Each structure stands twice: as structure tokens, then as C-alpha cells.
């Protein structure tokens, strides 16, 4: 896939790298692969798949994404690397299997970073940037260079660094607003200044990267596009460090809905209908849900484009207008982001083949074991609920494929509650050694009682920091999706599960998070199996 085009916008998705850096969003390799496959379906040009040198897990994720998603007609697969030889070597090895691959190397250039973090002079950083871009180039043609904290870097110095990086072989230069400090007009002026003062700038693509600390990331990027930026680095649902990154769905839909406004900046006739990006916008909603489910990072209801209320009209005046003509209060169609493709396709008489076929059409490639388990769950749900929609199917399939290693398994959960009753729960769990343990507890409510009963079996002190239940579809028989986040020592783990019974979903989501926690226990805490054995109360 050709990514160097200058008359359209290149989308680099960094959900799996910068997005995954936010607390609790940690994904395992299989989950990263699922997201990468969906990003390819969404049509992103470049997937920044991770930071290969950071850990063996990161390396494996980048390499497996390069192997499976980096096909000839697939996206470019990119790994981040500090401007350090070992980082660049790891990145080069990890991306090697991809048909189109990129190394993205970076070094800070702002005085504050140079003085306090790098403890290097401007001249030293200039030389490192040049040398390391050339080193990356010795492995691969497609090299991106980022002067970190560019938005707070002295522009004159920034121009010099960029010129030298481009001369050394950078094909994309990326301008990061690392701390989310800039404003749209300042950022636009910075891009304009770069175009005017970096003599070799036309031989590469200008990219932008920005954080949302002041809520300005998307606005900053759109202004940058007007001044010549042609690659946007963004994440699904805007997840990322602190307040997150610029949100892909917002950028893409702004460029789509307002293309007549942006066309002239890309040298096109005002009324050109040619899309400005290669994104298949109908995949946006599905991608958003997948990322939210797997990372446990919920989407706020009023979030632009993908929030639950983004297309809801409450006020009578708005509803009246919409009924008369949609354009009165709607600037885009819910269908354009794939929101209304919610067909009722299966029911309790549907067979395994129909189930498998529909899942395949929805883009799920389940292993035989996953398919068998998902099918049982589907039958169970179809018994309770007459009709199973695509969204229900997605929830069932996501639930199956996203499971953390099944160390503990929920065998039974039973609650007794109601007015005048003390909420009481009994749970039976199968431990990693195959033993079945049962315990019971009283709580302030049924979910609290279930969590306390599970805690009595899985004896790991942790703090529940987030618990949410959302319905997958409308209706009293809807599947309930539970997302939780818990803190163990300094780390955050997420869990997710869907079921028509929200108590069962709550218990499964909790077990899911506990399994991630156990799976992530470092070697320094002793063999995991031993910790598990000690953690389980007898």
C-alpha cells in the first residue's frame, strides 16, 4: 500500500502504541492482533503496532502484527524506537515480516527536555538525530522522525533538526505536541514555518501528533492540515497518555463531513466528492466498540461521533425537525459510521453454520474452540432472547476472543437479594490447578456480594476503581455489558463480559480482570503458579 501520497490525508493509527500507554489499557498479544485486523478493515494507512524494544511482549505483538496484518495490500506496520541503536535494531527485526514497514524514531528537542531529561546540548541532539535516522535508513526505506515536544521547541532549532533528519533519509517528519500545550493558530503557524524554513521539506510527508490536555488536539490537527500536514497520528476513541491523543473518528468525520471546506487546502476543486482519507467510515463504530471492550476504556455518552448520545435527539423541537427533514439537526448519517447496521439475523433455530457465516461476515475469525464456546453462549442467549442482532453477536464473539488466559473459571454464581433481604452471593470457581472452590459472602448489593465471595476464593487484595453496565441493544431482554477496572499495587487491569444476566456478566468481568492480573504478575514475584496457589484460600 502506498503511503507517501501528498494530495490526500494519511492516517497513522497509534492505538496500539500511544493509546495502550494509558493506565489499565494494557492488551495482550491476541487482543492487539484483533485490533490490528480491525484497523486494517477500517482502512488506516499505517498501524503503529508498538514499541518493539520496550518488552518481549511488545516485540512479539509488533512482529505478529507484521506477519499477519502487514500483507502486500495491507497497511504499513510501524514500530516506535528511541534514537538509540538497540531500539532501532529491535524495531527493524520486529517489522521485518511486513510487506510495507516503517521505523519511527524520536528524540526530544525542547530546551526543557534537553536540560532536565536528556542532559544534552542542542548540538549533541542534532548529531544524534541525524545519525540515528541514517542508522534506521540502513534497515528500511520508510523512516519517520519525531522531534519530541516539537510544539515547545525553539522553531529555529527545530528547522535545523528537521533539515538534517530529512537529509539523513527521513521520509516522514512528525511534529508532536507532546504535552497538549499548543493552540490551533499556533500549531498551524508552526507547520507553515516548517514549510517555509526547512529547505528539503518537500521531499517528505509532514505528520502531526498531539495530546488532548487542553481538549484541542483535533482542532490543532485540522489547522495543521490547512498548512500542509498530510499525515495525522491518532487513536480510536482518542485513548492515550493522560487526556489521550487526537481521536481518529473525529478527525476522519470532520474531514469527511466538511470536505468541501478542506478540499481547496489539498488542491482539489471545492465540490470534489473524492474522500480525503482512505478510511471506510462504516467501520468506525465497530472499531470503537472493539477498542473500548478490549481496553476497558469506556466511551463517554456525549463523545463526538461514537458516544451513545452522538445521534440521539431528546428535545421536542429537534425531534420535530428531524422527522420533517433529517438535515435540520443532523450533519451526518448514523449509517455513515456503521451505527445502524444492526440487523436481526439469527434466532434460537439458527444453526452453527449460520452462526459461523454471520460472524465471518462481521469480520470475526474464531478458532474452532472459540467458535464452539461462542456458539454455546449464542444458543444460551437465543433461548432467553428471541432475536439475536449483529451487535449481540459481536458482544458474544468479542467476549470469547478477548478472554485473558483462563486461570480461574466461573462455574456458578447465585445471588439472593431484594427489599428487606441481605444481598448474599455464592460462587464456585475452578482454580488453575483444576480444583473447584465454593464460598459465599454478604454485600451492600448483589454485585458487591458476588465480588466479596470471589475475593474470599481468589485471595488477592485489589481495589475496584470502575464498574459500569451498558446494554448492547434496546429492550428489556438486552445483553448487558459489564466493564470494570481494578487496581493492584500500582497497576490497573480491566475486565469485560456480556450476558443477559448482569450479575453473571459482573462476575465474569471480575474474573476476567483477575485473570489478567495473575497473568501479568512479574517473574520477580516468584513463579506465577506458586503465587496463584498461595493466593487461593482453602
Using CB atoms within 10 A of its CB, is residue 222 exposed (0-12), middle (13-18) or buried (19+)?
buried
Position 158 contacts ligand KIV (CB under 6 A): no
Picked from ligand KIV, Zn ion, none, the partner binding residue 75 (CB below 5 to 8 A depending on kind) is none
Which of 18/394 has CB closer to ligand KIV?
18
Position 37 contacts ligand KIV (CB under 6 A): no
Position 462 contacts ligand KIV (CB under 6 A): no
352-371 binders of ligand KIV (CB under 6 A): none
Q: CA–CA separation, 14 vs 237, rounded Å?
A: 11
Q: CA–CA separation, 26 vs 436, rounded Å?
A: 29
Beta strands in 98-189 (DSSP E): 101-108, 143-148, 172-177
Q: CA–CA separation, 306 vs 332, rounded Å?
A: 12
The least CB distance from residue 240 to ligand KIV, in Å, is: 8
Q: Which three cell numbers stand for residue 232?
A: 495525522
Position 163 contacts ligand KIV (CB under 6 A): no
Position 18 contacts ligand KIV (CB under 6 A): yes
Which of 48/448 has CB closer to Zn ion?
48
Position 455 contacts ligand KIV (CB under 6 A): no
The least CB distance from residue 183 to ligand KIV, in Å, is: 17
Q: CA–CA separation, 494 vs 483, rounded Å?
A: 7
How crowded is residue 156: how many other Cβ atoms within 10 Å of its Cβ?
Answer: 9
β-pair partners for 10: 231
Which of 149/250 has CB closer to ligand KIV?
149
Picked from ligand KIV, Zn ion, none, the partner binding residue 148 (CB below 5 to 8 A depending on kind) is ligand KIV
Q: What is the DSSP letter of 526?
A: -
Nearest to residue 401, comparing CAs of 502, 515, 293?
293
Picked from Zn ion, ligand KIV, none, the partner binding residue 146 (CB below 5 to 8 A depending on kind) is ligand KIV
Position 148 contacts ligand KIV (CB under 6 A): yes
Picked from Zn ion, ligand KIV, none, the partner binding residue 106 (CB below 5 to 8 A depending on kind) is ligand KIV
Position 234 contacts ligand KIV (CB under 6 A): no
SS3 call for 499: strand
Helix (H) or strand (E) holding 46: strand 46-50
The least CB distance from residue 209 to Zn ion, in Å, is: 6
Helix (H) or strand (E) holding 72: none
Q: CA–CA separation, 410 vs 390, rounded Å?
A: 26
Question: How many residues appear in the chain?
Answer: 538
Position 74 contacts ligand KIV (CB under 6 A): no
245-264 binders of ligand KIV (CB under 6 A): none
Nearest to residue 239, comparing CAs of 518, 56, 4, 14?
14
The least CB distance from residue 436 to ligand KIV, in Å, is: 46
Helix orientation angle between 284-295 and 29-42, rounded to the nearest 10 degrees:
170
The least CB distance from residue 210 to ligand KIV, in Å, is: 8
Q: Are the CB atoms for 150 and 191 separated by under 8 Å?
A: no
The least CB distance from residue 264 to Zn ion, in Å, is: 30
Position 146 contacts ligand KIV (CB under 6 A): yes
Which of 106/493 has CB closer to ligand KIV?
106
Using CB atoms within 10 A of its CB, is residue 282 exposed (0-12), middle (13-18) or buried (19+)?
middle
Picked from ligand KIV, Zn ion, none, the partner binding residue 52 (CB below 5 to 8 A depending on kind) is none
Which residue has the closest beta carbon to Zn ion?
18
**Contact residues for Zn ion (CB under 5 A)?**
18
Among residues 59, 106, 285, 493, the one that binds ligand KIV under rule CB under 6 A: 106
Nearest to residue 239, comparing CAs of 286, 303, 181?
303
Which of 178/295 has CB closer to ligand KIV?
178
Q: Which residues bind ligand KIV (CB under 6 A)?
A: 18, 80, 106, 146, 148, 176, 178, 209, 211
Amino acid at each position: 500500500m502506498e503511503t507517501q501520497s501528498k494530495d490526500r490525508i494519511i492516517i497513522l493509527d497509534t492505538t496500539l502504541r500511544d493509546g495502550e500507554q494509558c493506565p489499565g489499557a494494557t492488551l495482550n498479544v491476541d487482543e492487539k492482533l484483533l485490533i490490528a485486523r480491525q484497523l486494517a478493515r477500517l482502512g488506516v494507512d499505517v498501524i503503529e503496532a508498538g514499541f518493539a524494544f520496550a518488552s518481549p511482549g511488545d516485540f512479539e505483538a509488533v512482529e505478529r502484527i507484521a506477519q499477519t496484518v502487514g500483507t502486500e495490500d495491507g497497511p504499513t506496520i510501524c514500530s516506535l524506537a528511541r534514537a538509540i541503536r538497540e531500539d532501532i535494531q529491535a524495531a527493524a527485526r520486529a517489522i521485518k515480516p511486513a510487506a510495507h514497514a516503517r521505523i519511527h524514531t524520536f528524540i526530544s528537542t525542547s530546551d526543557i527536555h534537553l536540560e532536565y531529561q536528556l542532559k544534552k546540548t542542542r548540538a549533541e541532539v542534532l548529531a544524534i538525530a541525524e545519525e540515528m535516522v541514517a542508522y534506521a535508513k540502513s534497515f528500511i526505506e520508510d523512516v519517520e522522525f519525531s522531534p519530541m515536544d516539537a510544539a515547545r521547541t525553539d522553531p529555529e532549532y527545530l528547522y535545523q533538526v528537521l533539515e538534517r533528519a530529512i537529509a539523513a533519509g527521513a521520509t516522514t517528519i512528525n511534529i508532536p505536541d507532546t504535552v497538549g500545550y499548543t493552540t490551533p493558530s499556533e500549531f498551524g503557524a508552526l507547520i507553515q514555518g516548517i514549510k517555509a524554513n526547512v529547505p528539503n521539506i518537500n521531499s517528505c510527508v509532514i505528520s502531526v501528533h498531539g495530546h488532548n490536555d487542553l481538549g484541542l488536539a483535533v482542532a490543532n490537527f485540522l489547522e495543521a492540515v490547512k498548512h500542509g500536514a498530510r499525515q495525522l497520528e491518532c487513536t480510536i476513541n482518542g485513548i492515550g497518555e493522560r487526556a489521550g491523543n487526537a481521536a481518529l473518528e473525529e478527525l476522519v468525520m470532520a474531514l469527511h463531513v466538511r470536505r468541501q471546506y478542506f478540499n481547496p487546502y489539498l488542491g482539489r476543486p471545492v465540490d470534489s466528492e473524492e474522500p480525503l482519507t482512505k478510511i471506510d467510515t462504516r467501520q468506525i463504530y465497530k472499531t470503537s466498540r472493539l477498542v473500548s471492550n478490549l481496553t476497558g476504556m469506556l466511551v463517554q455518552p456525549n463523545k463526538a461521533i461514537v458516544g451513545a448520545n452522538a445521534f440521539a435527539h431528546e428535545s421536542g423541537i429537534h425531534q420535530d425537525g428531524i422527522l420533517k427533514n433529517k438535515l435540520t439537526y443532523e450533519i451526518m448519517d448514523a449509517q455513515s459510521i456503521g451505527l445502524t447496521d444492526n440487523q436481526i439475523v439469527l434466532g434460537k433455530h439458527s444453526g452453527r453454520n449460520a452462526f459461523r457465516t454471520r460472524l465471518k461476515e462481521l469480520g470475526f475469525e474464531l478458532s474452532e474452540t472459540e467458535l464452539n464456546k461462542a456458539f454455546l453462549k449464542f444458543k444460551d442467549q437465543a433461548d432467553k432472547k428471541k432475536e439475536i442482532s449483529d451487535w449481540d453477536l459481536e458482544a458474544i464473539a468479542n467476549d470469547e476472543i478477548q478472554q485473558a488466559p483462563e486461570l480461574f473459571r466461573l462455574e456458578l454464581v447465585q445471588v439472593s437479594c431484594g427489599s428487606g433481604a441481605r444481598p448474599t452471593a455464592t460462587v464456585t470457581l475452578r482454580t488453575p490447578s483444576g480444583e473447584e472452590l465454593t464460598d459465599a459472602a454478604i454485600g451492600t448489593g448483589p454485585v458487591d456480594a458476588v465480588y466479596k465471595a470471589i475475593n474470599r476464593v481468589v485471595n488477592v487484595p485489589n481495589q475496584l476503581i470502575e464498574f459500569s453496565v451498558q446494554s448492547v441493544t434496546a429492550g428489556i431482554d438486552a445483553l448487558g455489558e459489564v466493564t470494570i477496572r481494578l487496581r493492584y499495587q500500582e497497576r490497573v487491569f480491566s475486565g469485560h463480559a456480556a450476558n443477559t444476566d448482569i450479575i453473571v456478566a459482573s462476575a465474569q468481568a471480575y474474573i476476567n480482570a483477575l485473570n489478567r492480573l495473575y497473568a501479568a504478575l512479574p517473574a520477580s514475584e516468584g513463579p506465577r503458579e506458586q503465587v496463584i496457589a498461595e493466593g487461593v484460600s482453602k
